[in-house]
Each structure stands twice: as structure tokens, then as C-alpha cells.
Amino acid sequence: MSLPQLWVGLGNPGPEHARNRHNIGFMAIERIASRRGFSPWRRRFRGLVAEGTIAAHRILALEPQTWMNASGESVRAAMAFHKLPLEHVVVFHDELDLAPGRVRVKRGGGTAGHNGLRSITRFCGGAEFWRVRLGIGHPGHKDKVVGHVLGDFPKADSAWLDPLLDRLAEAAPLLAEGRVEPFLAAVNAGEPASRAPLA
């Protein structure tokens, strides 16, 4: 039996954080699990886990219920239990350096100050996991970053956020199959694949 893929959504637990920009990783993985008929969420690995099949691939969806800066502890526990290498891990996270609603995918690289990515890199033995980078935009000045990231999406952002989450769920089979450029073309509102680089 082939190894499952571990799809991790990053965010902070608690209803008070549910609409934070920092929680777009949670939003993405929840929409995918809901639309793809995953099992009910249950508590495991210091997180919430749901399981399903996408494009004949077994997918474990994980939402760490630690704080963001300890996400790696939850991911490490799930990886160890299922004996997964880093290349079987896909992390959905907020990305300041992308315009709101834009998506990029890459494997490996730095953390760009993202505490969740830093924790996973530290606890899981390296940086060679896949990242689905979900653009939330930059507030324009570094002094405003924390408030921007931890602030809620305004209601007006629902115009692009909800359709984006739907497109992520619809295009999930392409991601499961490792077809990155078609996945990016699908989720980036029809952006041509030639304009959707891996990084």
C-alpha cells in the first residue's frame, strides 16, 4: 500500500482566530475536506485530522491545534506515525509576498519569517516539504505586518476568498497527482500555466 500524502493547513486554533488572514491555511484545508467528502475531523497528533481519497491518492488533512509557532510538533507526530518522508507533506499557508488571492507552489526554500514554516522545518528535519502559498498581500510597511496577518479578512474580501477556496477544492486532484502547473492555472482564476511558475 502506497504512503498517504499529508496535507497540512496552518492557522491558530480558536473561533477568535477563524477569520484571520493567518488562518487561510485552515480555511483551504477545511474547504477541500468538505467538498471532497473526507471523514469527520477527529483529534490526533495534537491536531485535527480528516481522511479522504483524491484522484486515487489517500490524503490525510491535518490542522495543528498548537499555536502557529509550534505547528511542527503536530506535523512531526503525524509524519512519524505514518512513516512519511518530507516530500509527502504539503503545507497550505498565508503568504505576504503574493497579492491577495494569488497562489504559488514550491518545494523547499526558506521560511520568510513565517513561524509555522519555521516550526515545521525545525521539528521535521528539513525544508523539503511542498508549500501551497496563498497570497494575503502586504500592508506596505513592516510595522503593520503583525496587525495585518492577525487581522480578520474584511467582508469585501469574500468576493475573491470564497471563490479561491472553491477553486482549490476543485483543483485538488491536480495537486494530488503532482501536476503543479495545471493546478496553478486552475486556482489562479484561469491564469495561463506559462505565467504560473513553481516559485
Q: Give catalytic residue positions.
A: 22
Dist. CA 17–CA 177, nearest whole Å: 32
Dist. CA 99–CA 71, nearest whole Å: 25
What SS3 class is residue 76? helix
Q: Transcribe 120-166 into DSSP letters.
A: HHHHTT-S-SEEEEEE----SSGGGHHHHHHSBPPGGGHHHHHHHHH
Q: How many alpha carbons lie under 13 Å from residue 110 in its C-beta half-sphere? A: 2
Dist. CA 177–CA 57, nearest whole Å: 8
Kind plus residue range of the DSSP H or E element containing 175: helix 158-176
Dist. CA 63–CA 144, nearest whole Å: 27
C-alpha cell at 182: 495545471
